[in-house]
Amino acid sequence: MNTTLDTVVIGGGAMGSATAWALARRGRDVTLLEQFGPGHRNGASHGTTRNFNPGYADPDYVAMLAESVRLWNELEADSGERLLALTGVVNHGTDPRLPEIRSALLAAGLRAEFLAVEEAAERWRGIRFDQRVLHMADGGQLNPDAALPAMQRLAAGHGAEIRHHVKVLELKVLDDGVRLTLESGGVTEVLSARQAVVTAGGWTTKLLAGVAPVPRLTVTQEQPAHFAITDPDAQWPGFNHMPGHGDAYRYWRSPVYGMHTPGEGIKAGWHGAGPVVDPDNRSFTAEPEQRAALQRYAREWLPGVDADALTDVSCTYTTTVDENFVLDRIGPVVIGAGFSGHGFKFTTAVGRILADLATGDGGAPAIFSASRARVR
pLDDT tens digits, one per residue of 15-29: 999 999 999 999 999
pLDDT greater than 70 at residue 1: no
Domain interval for residue 42: 1-48+143-217+322-376
- The pLDDT of residue 4 is 82
Give the pLDDT confidence of 251-287 residue by residue, as tens digits: 999 999 999 999 999 999 999 999 999 999 999 999 9
* Burial degree of 334 (CB within 10 A; 0-12, 13-18, 19+): buried
pLDDT greater than 90 at residue 375: no
Domain-embedded: residue 327:
yes
What's the rounded mean pLDDT across residues 316-345?
97
Q: What's the count of helices (H) and strands (E) in the chain, helices before strands?
A: 8, 21
Domain-embedded: residue 31:
yes
- What is the C-alpha separation between 133 and 121, in angstroms, rounded? 10
In this structure, what CATH number is given to the domain that contains residue 34? 3.50.50.60
Q: Yes or no: say if 66 and 338 are a contact pair by the CB < 8 Å rule.
A: no
Find the largest Cα–Cα distance for the chain: 67
- The pLDDT of residue 3 is 64
Domain-embedded: residue 111:
no
- The pLDDT of residue 2 is 54
- The pLDDT of residue 324 is 97
Q: CA 329, 357, 376, 251 torsion: positive or negative?
A: negative
Number of domains observed in the structure of the chain? 1
Across the chain, what does the average pLDDT equal?
97
HEC readout, 227-278: EEECCCCCCCCEEEEECCCCHHHCCCCCCEEEEEECCCEEEEEECCCCCECC
Q: What is the pTM of this model?
A: 0.97
Domain-embedded: residue 230:
no
- What is the C-alpha separation between 48 and 50, in angstroms, rounded? 7
